[in-house]
Amino acid sequence: MPDLIKVAKFGGTSLADANAMNRCASIIEFDSDKRIIVLSATSGTTNLLASLATIDDLSARLSVFEQIKENHHNILSDLNLPDEYQKMLDELLSGLKAKIESAEPHDIREMDTLLSYGERLSSTLFTGLLNSKGIEAAYVDARKIIKTNSQYGDAEPLVDQIRDRAEKFLLPEIKSKRLVTQGFIGSDKAEITTTLGRGGSDYTAALLAEALDADVLEIWTDVNAIYTTDPRICSDAVPITEMTFDEAAELSFFGAKVLHPATLKPAIRKNIKVYVGSSIYPDQPGTWIVKNTLDKPIIRAISLRPEQTLITVHSLDMLHRHGFLAKLFQILAEYKISVDLVTTSEVSVSLTIDTNQTGLLQRLSPEMIKELESIAEVQVEKDLALIALVGNNLDSTAGVSGPLFNMLDNINIRMICHGASSHNLCFLVDQQKAASVVQKLHKYFIPQKVEN
């Protein structure tokens, strides 16, 4: 039995080809505490599968299939896996082909089943790779463990059921072998496949870490660490050695793609340390996310979340009347719209909606707008980006908003939320200008080349 239980998750770019998969296998080989291995689909596969939602023509749909088949066959042959894995892979691929031929492109429920093939293919290959390296490993279908509600495309996990199943099916097994399973996918009460939203493999790994009372959750990805901002946007970004659960939760919620926004929730519930590191350079220091850190900088990091929609409703009925906001939120709830930020004035309310999520775009329907228009004037603004300064005591520290507004004096700020949380100050700007705003703020607020 290992000393500790570590759950290790590897993302899509970490599994892009046979070389990348071999690097991940070596990370596992040298640490016998890594008992649960959670995998994303290979790089690009989920995007290919997701593109099927907008392709009606069968021959175009089948050419997507051929691309996925070729990519996985190439990895299989480069890894030189035994015939049994070729057979397993081909069975999965023929299931995928049949599903592509029969599925209704616009049905979000069928989409989840299609998307699940990405993770099922990658984890089949990876189980074969570990065993061929002499690391005893078994494939586990995550849908047996990760029970969710039936909100296809963005399902909510059912934590108690997940814990019961993990204790029953995983705990006895991890003593003798590594278990390889899929991130992102689960199943509902009727055993129909669901997904946890794009990027959801991080969340799966955190849910399993929680269910098994793991000691450490490891997220292996294509960056060395969590940086002070997305290093793709800002070349001055600095790797963060240690940060708190609260800071990381806010950062991911406000758009840092490095972690799915819900990942920290299970870790916080069970106080499980999270490590973010690079599967390409595993020896480089990564980021530890823990309950408390010695330093509490006012600004730890800056995030950017694109594709936000701002809905402003305006009605004189709001003035000194009760019930208007209740009516407004009731309509949004009926259409399952999740609102992120809200600001109100005497006669108007502005709300932001993340239209970057799979599924949400479909739900921002003309019918919903019509219903809103029955109670108020409605304005919808698209192509905005949400920028958040994430840190500590931002609600009570002087000297942040002054320089911030000075720097942005020629930028049209569409909405500001300040004071509701001590961990963030955020605002909406035109998406086209967002990257340059982040670069500017980063230069001013983040000390350069100094380790946090």
Residues that bind ligand ADP (CB under 6 A): 11-14, 40, 199, 221-223, 226-227, 229-232, 256-258, 301
229 binds, among ligand ASP, Mg ion, ligand ADP, none (CB under 5 to 8 A by kind): ligand ADP
Nearest residue (CB) to ligand ADP, 131 versus 228 = 228
User: What's the rounded Cα separation, in Å, for the pair 269 and 450?
Assistant: 32
200 binds, among Mg ion, ligand ADP, ligand ASP, none (CB under 5 to 8 A by kind): ligand ASP
For the window 154-193, what string marks contact with ligand ASP as x by the rule CB under 6 A?
Answer: -----------------------------xx---------
Phi-psi region of 211 (alpha: psi -120 to 50; beta: other; left: phi over 0): alpha
Nearest to 12 by CA among 100, 89, 104, 126: 126
Least distance between ligand ADP and beta carbon 299 (Å): 13
User: What's the rounded Cα separation, in Å, for the pair 144 and 187?
Assistant: 7
At position 211, the amino acid (one-letter code) is: A
148 binds, among ligand ASP, ligand ADP, Mg ion, none (CB under 5 to 8 A by kind): none
In DSSP notation, 9-65 reads EE-GGGGSSHHHHHHHHHHHHT-TTEEEEEE-PPTTHHHHHHHGGG---HHHHHHHH
Q: Out of 11, 186, 261, 286, name the contact with ligand ASP by CB under 6 A.
A: 11
Nearest residue (CB) to ligand ADP, 47 versus 345 = 47
User: What's the rounded Cα separation, in Å, for the pair 64 and 352?
Assistant: 34
Helix axes 366-373 and 324-334, enclosed angle (nearest 10): 170
Q: Out of 24, 38, 40, 179, name the contact with ligand ASP by CB under 6 A.
A: 40
239 binds, among ligand ADP, ligand ASP, Mg ion, none (CB under 5 to 8 A by kind): none
Least distance between ligand ASP and beta carbon 431 (Å): 21
User: What's the rounded Cα separation, in Å, for the pair 41 and 48?
Assistant: 11
At position 192, the amino acid (one-letter code) is: I
Question: In the window 41-80, what residues touch ligand ASP (CB under 6 A)?
Answer: 41, 46
For the window 176-205, what string marks contact with Mg ion as x by the rule CB under 5 A?
Answer: -----------------------x------
Least distance between ligand ASP and beta carbon 123 (Å): 11
Q: Which stretch binds ligand ASP (CB under 6 A): 40-48, 65-73, 282-290, 393-401?
A: 40-48
Q: Out of 6, 143, 198, 442, name the contact with ligand ASP by CB under 6 A.
A: 198
Q: Out of 116, 148, 193, 201, name the contact with ligand ASP by CB under 6 A.
A: 201
Q: Which stretch binds ligand ASP (CB under 6 A): 38-46, 217-225, 377-385, 394-402?
A: 38-46
Nearest residue (CB) to ligand ASP, 208 versus 387 = 208
User: What's the rounded Cα separation, in Å, for the pair 361 and 363?
Assistant: 5
Helix axes 108-132 and 18-29, enclosed angle (nearest 10): 60
Q: Out of 10, 12, 152, 305, name the contact with ligand ASP by CB under 6 A.
A: 12
User: What's the rounded Cα separation, in Å, for the pair 217 and 226?
Assistant: 15
Q: Which stretch binds ligand ASP (CB under 6 A): 67-75, 101-109, 194-202, 430-438?
A: 194-202
Least distance between Mg ion and beta carbon 154 (Å): 15
User: What's the rounded Cα separation, in Å, for the pair 311 and 349?
Assistant: 8
Q: Are strands 377-391 and 424-430 parallel, antiparallel or unpaired?
A: antiparallel
Nearest residue (CB) to ligand ADP, 40 versus 308 = 40
Position of minimal CB gap to ligand ADP: 11
In DSSP notation, 335-389 reads TTPPEEEEEE-SSEEEEEEETTSTTHHHHS-HHHHHHHHTTSEEEEEEEEEEEEE
CA 211-213-215 angle, 5° bins: 135
Helices (H), 39-158: 45-51, 58-79, 83-102, 108-132
Which positions touch Mg ion (CB under 5 A)? 11, 199
Which positions touch ligand ASP (CB under 6 A)? 11-12, 40-41, 46, 118, 183-184, 198-201
